[in-house]
Amino acid sequence: MNNKKKFSKFIKNKIFLYPIVDSLFWLVKVLDFGIKFIQFRIKNFFNYEKLCFSIEAAIILGKKYNAFIFINDYWKLAIKYQAFGIHLGQEDIKSIDIKKIQKHNICFGISAHSKDEFKNAVRFSPDYISLGHVFYTNTKIMKNPPIGLEMVKKIQREFSSSIPIIAIGGINSTNIKKVLSCSINAIAISSFITENPVWKKSIVELRNKYPLLF
């Protein structure tokens, strides 16, 4: 089974938690929890050798844990080290060789922050589209206000039959139930883990309350 078929079977089976982590430290922590769908997002990395090491190590860990690791942005390195998946922003898809990514049996997802961007992403036939930010988030600087739950529901109704949708942005234990009601395929979290001093307790509580996410 190739990667696209393998991932399609996985993502359409049930709803999943999709942690976004920025270091090997956090990647191992999340993998040890048994989570199988993770984005590895390194930003502001100025040492190329360390960047290469981190991406290669993340890919090796993904294979060891039999997990779907999506490398954010660095698509050439993802190809070089035979990643399972790549995550791309709207600004990336203008200059990236999508056919080359597909040729190497690598899945890819695309970010969308509006309905127009979602439609644009659909044109590239990605394996998923992450939609948000749903709520206010301080994980990264956002140019636009949150899209809100109603927009997520609207896009889900229109496109869910053709593309898996991941909700992202400001999602935590207090609002996750509302996001689950939108019938999307996965829920992305970042600061809920990496900026949470009691992250392990929070994840355990989340797993006990919403076992379908794990």
Q: Annotate 80-128 with three-state secondary structure.
A: HCCCCEEEECCCCCCCCCHHHHHHCCCEEEEEECCHHHHHHHHCCCCCE
In tens, the pLDDT along 82-103 reads 999 999 999 999 889 999 998 9
Q: Which residue has the higher pLDDT, 137 or 108?
A: 108
- Read off the CATH number of the domain in which 94 is found: 3.20.20.70
Residue 5 lies in a domain: no
Residue 210 lies in a domain: no
Quick one: CA dihedral 202, 203, 204, 205, positive or negative? Answer: positive
* pLDDT over 70 percentage in the chain: 100
Q: How many domains does the chain have?
A: 1
- In this prediction the pTM is 0.95
Q: Is the previous residue joined to 113 through a cis bond, with omega within 30 degrees of 0?
A: no
* Residue 6 pLDDT: 92
Q: Name the nearest CA neighbour of 65 among 31, 91, 99, 97.
A: 31
Residue 47 lies in a domain: yes
Residue 32 lies in a domain: yes
In tens, the pLDDT along 39-73 reads 999 988 889 999 999 999 999 999 999 999 999 99
Residue 212 lies in a domain: no
* Residue 139 pLDDT: 74
* Residue 45 pLDDT: 82
Q: Name the nearest CA neighbour of 205 among 36, 213, 179, 65.
A: 213
Residue 44 lies in a domain: yes
* Residue 59 pLDDT: 98
* Residue 14 pLDDT: 82
Q: Name the nearest CA neighbour of 71 among 108, 44, 98, 119.
A: 108
Please state, in angstroms and as integers, the Cα–Cα distance from residue 57 to each residue in 19, 24, 148, following that order: 17, 8, 36
Residue 21 lies in a domain: yes
Helix-then-strand count for the chain, H and E: 10, 8
* Residue 153 pLDDT: 97
Residue 213 lies in a domain: no
Q: Is residue 123 very low, low, confident or very high in pLDDT (cuts 50, 70, 90)?
A: very high
And the tokens for 97? 């060789």
Asked if pLDDT for residue 35 goes beyond 80, the answer is yes
Rounded Cα distance, 113 and 148, in Å: 11
Domain that holds residue 58: 13-205
Asked if pLDDT for residue 1 goes beyond 80, the answer is no
* Residue 46 pLDDT: 84
Q: What does pLDDT average to over the chain?
A: 94
